[in-house]
Structure 1
Amino acid sequence: MRNAIVLAAGKGTRMKSETSKLMHPIIDRPMLGYIIDALRAVHVNRIVIVVGYQAQSIMDAYPDCEFAMQMPQLGTGHAVMQCKQLENEQGQTVIINGDGPCIQPETLENLFKANENASCTLLTSVLEDGAHYGRIVRDENGDVQAIVEAKDCNEDQKLIREINAGMYCFNNQDLFKNLHLLQPNNKQNEYYLTDMVKILASQGKKVNGIVIENRDEVMGINDCVELHKAYEWMTNRINTNWMKEGVQIIDPKRTMIGKDVVIGHDVVIYPNVEITGKTVIGNHVTIYGNSTIQDSIIEDGACIDNSKVVNSVVQKNQKVGPFEFKNGNGLNIKNV
């Protein structure tokens, strides 16, 4: 049994927005949507989203998930305490922050597998400077003994370069049987989920730490500057993958392609093009600059020239544009 808890209750004050931070879009969906997609890709059975600020907007957007309310918000450990619907489940539970949309299914799969014979496995990263991140304290055998939050580090611990990447996989029963041991004995007066590592290690249970190679994959988003950084990371990853598959993207930095888009071979995409939604691009297609394609099928040999195509089918060898707006009025491309 695979479960997941997504922490999504905070306001995200540094976004300076009335909208929940996790509902801010990247390319063609809210940042939270990428995390849900990744969890679904590794066959998580139950996804519980911990909500608080603007809770209804999140619940309306993801009705196929489960929810737990955290009001007031007294830390990450307190957030997990609210997920009472999982306390009798067996198997493993991943806990992830809702503001980390770059996480990939392969990393989640590695996390689940690494925890098959452990009580807890956490992702870590090695930095030149640990800065404001929690430090990983290991014993002489390399097993993780504790995570010490930056605000609570002594001088020696501040020198540790391995930091907490903020993603965990727990044996679900070990997690819920020990949540009551968390105490708000810290400068924030909050219940830290990170304290669970020390609790489990003190009981002789195995705690793993696996280093993630690409630190950007677990970047957290706190403001619009970091939101843009995540957008750049995603678009670069998507566009690079398509170019490796033979798609000629003239200027990748000025091309936006959604993660669900499918593209054939011998396709040329000029600058200032946006392709999003469930769009399928056939073979030998040319898409000239300043074009937008959303939830459409572009058949083999077609040409889109400085136009907008929405919910439509562009037939084989057909040319659209320049300066056209083709709208299929709600066409469900899944049924085409």
Structure 2
Amino acid sequence: MTKRNAIILAAGKGTRMKSEKNKVMHDLIDRPILAYPLGALKKAGAERIVIVAGYQAQSLMDAFPEEEFALQKEQLGTGHAVMQVSALKDEDGYTLVMNGDVPCLQPETLEMLYDQAQGKAIVLLSAILEEGGNYGRVVRDETGAVKEIVEARDCTPEQKEIREINAGVYCFNNRDLFDALSELTTDNAQNEYYLTDLVRILNEKGKHVDAIAASDPDEMAGINTVSELYDVYRWMKDRINRRHMLAGVQIVDPQRTVIGQDVKIGHDTVIYPDTEILGKTALGNYVEIFPQTWIKDSVIGDGVRLQMCKVQNEMISNALDEEPAGNEEGTGTQAC
């Protein structure tokens, strides 16, 4: 298989969050925002991932000590951020570039981009929206071929009417990416090096450029404000809960139940409202989790019943294991 590289852009402060913390270090359910794109890329087969850090870079390095970083000392745009990843300059294969504040993107979507990029200079992910808002527009020619991406601030009135927007996720032939970076300029409204200008530059070189509309635009939701963080939290929580319910887990009130994406739950398990189950927790079969219970990174054995507990890094088994799991006469409820 062709080598898969990735670059995550995470250098900005995120001023609209109204926080001193780097935007991608805000918690989303049970981990920093940055952990989600990082995990999705690994599941999609990325062999080498470089995170571009800038504002409070050390906090990112401390949180993810096993990852590879590049430093962007000045915030001069997305193209400039990629220029800092000189460690990948001579790599073969394909390099997926994405922002660190897009936690909903699924591994299957990223893997699709790697696959679709074969034999092309760049494939970018787009979305069809009712209103383009502040997103860059995907401009196509009369044949439907992708011509360029125009940032919202640089759009003409006609271009602002385009409904296909740039989702900010790109898969490049790595050699084409680094060959074209040197041709970026700051001739735009922001006076920055736009990564999106590579679409036009590669087109002018006669390279194959393509855009694929995402099947679920909600995956592209970025986080720029605390309100948007809540919107993504709600989307992700509902998606996780629905996945477990489709597998047969009885979640009595999904709106009042929070489950982390790595949690594993056995069959015939019931989870009552006002509970949080986080981290790498595993619940066995016939488990009952009653209200006011918080569990993280723990193993809860078959038939255990917990109420009003705070459990972390623990292994709890059925105290009356001489009775079969699921038999209420043989299971006591543990209150912490």
| Global fold match (TM > 0.5) | yes
Q: For the Cα contact (< 8 Å) 1:307–1:320, is it kept in 2?
A: no
Matching residue of 2:28: 26
- SS of alignment partner, residue 210 of structure 1: strand
* 1:11 corresponds to 2:13: yes
Distance 1:62 1:207 in 2: 34
Distance 1:158 1:309 in 2: 52
Counterpart code for 1:234: M
1:143-292 → structure 2 map (5 Å cutoff): 143-292=145-294
Distance 1:285 1:63 in 2: 35
Q: Percent identity?
A: 55
Distance 2:9 2:294 in 1: 34
Deviation for aligned residue 1:149: 0.6
Deviation for aligned residue 1:319: 3.8
Matching residue of 2:111: 109
Q: Pairwise CA RMSD of aligned residues? A: 1.0
Deviation for aligned residue 1:128: 1.3
Distance 2:175 2:37 in 1: 24
Distance 2:110 2:138 in 1: 20
Counterpart code for 1:157: Q
Matching residue of 2:334: 321
* 1:92 corresponds to 2:105: no
Match of 1:77 among 76, 79, 88: 79
Distance 1:119 1:6 in 2: 19
Q: For the Cα contact (< 8 Å) 1:298–1:315, is it kept in 2?
A: yes
1:43-54 → structure 2 map (5 Å cutoff): 43-54=45-56
- SS of alignment partner, residue 5 of structure 1: strand
Distance 2:273 2:48 in 1: 41
Counterpart code for 1:44: A
Deviation for aligned residue 1:320: 4.9
Equivalenced residue count is 323
Distance 1:14 1:321 in 2: 44
Matching residue of 1:293: 295
Deviation for aligned residue 1:29: 0.4
- SS of alignment partner, residue 182 of structure 2: helix
Q: For the Cα contact (< 8 Å) 1:221–1:227, is it kept in 2?
A: yes
Q: For the Cα contact (< 8 Å) 1:305–1:319, is it kept in 2?
A: no
Q: For the Cα contact (< 8 Å) 1:262–1:280, is it kept in 2?
A: yes
- SS of alignment partner, residue 73 of structure 2: coil
Q: For the Cα contact (< 8 Å) 2:45–2:111, is it kept in 1?
A: no
Structure 1's consecutive aligned runs of 4 or more residues displaced over 3 angstroms after TM superposition are 317-321
Counterpart code for 1:244: L
C-alpha deviations, 1:182-228, integer Å up to 9, x for none? 00000110000000000001111111100012212111101110111
Distance 1:299 1:154 in 2: 61
Counterpart code for 2:229: L
Counterpart code for 1:257: I
Can you give the 5+ residue segments of structure 2 that lack an aligned partner in the other structure? 321-330
Q: For the Cα contact (< 8 Å) 1:3–1:93, is it kept in 2?
A: yes
C-alpha deviations, 1:97-147, integer Å up to 9, x for none? 011011110000011011012110001011111121111111233221100
